[in-house]
Structure 1
Amino acid sequence: MMHQVVGGVLAGALLLSGCAAGSSASKQSDSLAGSSWTLMAFRQGAGDAAEIRPMRPDQYRLSFQADGRLVAQVDCNRGSGTWQATPAGSSGALRLGPIALTRMMCPTDPLAQRLPQDLDALHSYRIVNGRLQLELAGNAGTYIWTRVQP
């Protein structure tokens, strides 16, 4: 299995600021633990910026396991890693990683290359109207996900 390497670190090895140091499942956010999400769009910048939508949304999924494990699908690539969240109401700090992704040649999709490169810049999450928003540092953009019903 090949892994995507960015800057000497596996793509998705996320060390995000303001994160909890705990690793037990009891410290995971109730709103994320045991949930799965499908990518709807990436909104670049703040405000009413244009959205980039995946060509096949069902090919982009994050599953936050209750035991702190993260299972990811990014287009035709799959991977896994760990996650921790420090909730503050409906938002909070998020730490993912390290995440190892396969590196297969997927059909062209505007988000297939962008998402793995942005993973290390994610710094927080919030849930608004039932949608998960993973936010990049410096208001550089937001990934918007919808919950997958079991």
Structure 2
Amino acid sequence: MSRILTVLMLCLIALGCATGGAGNAQVSSTDPEAVLNKTWQWTVISGPQHDVAVIGPERYTIFLADGRAQVKFDCNGGGGTYEISRGRLSFGPMMSTKMFCRDSQDIIFADNLQNASSFKVEDGVLYLTLADNQTIMQFRQAPNE
């Protein structure tokens, strides 16, 4: 009986080591369904020309559905078209209201969003890689979703 328990314990230990511990696995997706119909808040941009944390991520959002992007550019609203496929995301021309927003990062947001070329969602974070393949915009899902 103790031999069976020893073998079972060794099997469980080996299985735990082989999977690397399920709690540490990162869930990564390039499926468009991981992005669509959710509000994403911009949190960070990093790359050779930028390394900026966003002040007030709820002021800079994207929502993608039915080929239309709804975008919040700080105190301005707008949107445009987008194209998405597995791992690829690009935006067409964007329109926006033009109110003055105090202490805004709206120009950085709008300019870089237009240069998005690919995406992945990893552990609930949306990463948009820009056309230079070095600059990455990070988004979190809006807390109320």
Is 2:132 the partner of 1:138?
A: yes
- The one-letter amino acid paired with 1:98 is P
Larger radius of gyration: 2
Q: Which residue of 2 aligns with 1:79?
A: 78
- The one-letter amino acid paired with 2:34 is S
**Distance apart, 1:93 and its partner CA:** 1.1
Is 2:81 the partner of 1:57?
A: no
Q: Which residue of 1 aligns with 2:99?
A: 104
How many residues matched? 114
Is 2:58 the partner of 1:33?
A: no
Q: Percent identity?
A: 24
Normalised TM-score (structure 1)? 0.68
Runs of 4+ in 1 over 4 A off after TM superposition: none
Q: Which has the higher helix share?
A: 2
* Structure 2 unaligned blocks of 5 or more: 1-30
Is 2:63 the partner of 1:69?
A: no
**Distance apart, 1:134 and its partner CA:** 1.0
Secondary structure of the equivalent of 2:132? helix
Is 2:46 the partner of 1:43?
A: yes
CA distance, structure 1, for counterparts of residue 103 and residue 75 of structure 2: 11
CA distance, structure 1, for counterparts of residue 50 and residue 69 of structure 2: 29
Q: 2:109 aligns with which of 112, 115, 136?
A: 115
Q: Residue deviations 1:10-67, cap 9 Å, x none?
A: xxxxxxxxxxxxxxxxxx921122111011111123xxx98412221110110112x2
Normalised TM-score (structure 2)? 0.70
Asked whether the equivalents of residues 68 and 82 of structure 2 are also in contact (C-alpha less than 8 Å), the reply is yes
Aligned pair in 2 of structure 1 residues 69, 51: CA closer, same or farther (>3 Å)? same
Secondary structure of the equivalent of 2:69? strand
CA distance, structure 2, for counterparts of residue 140 and residue 105 of structure 1: 30
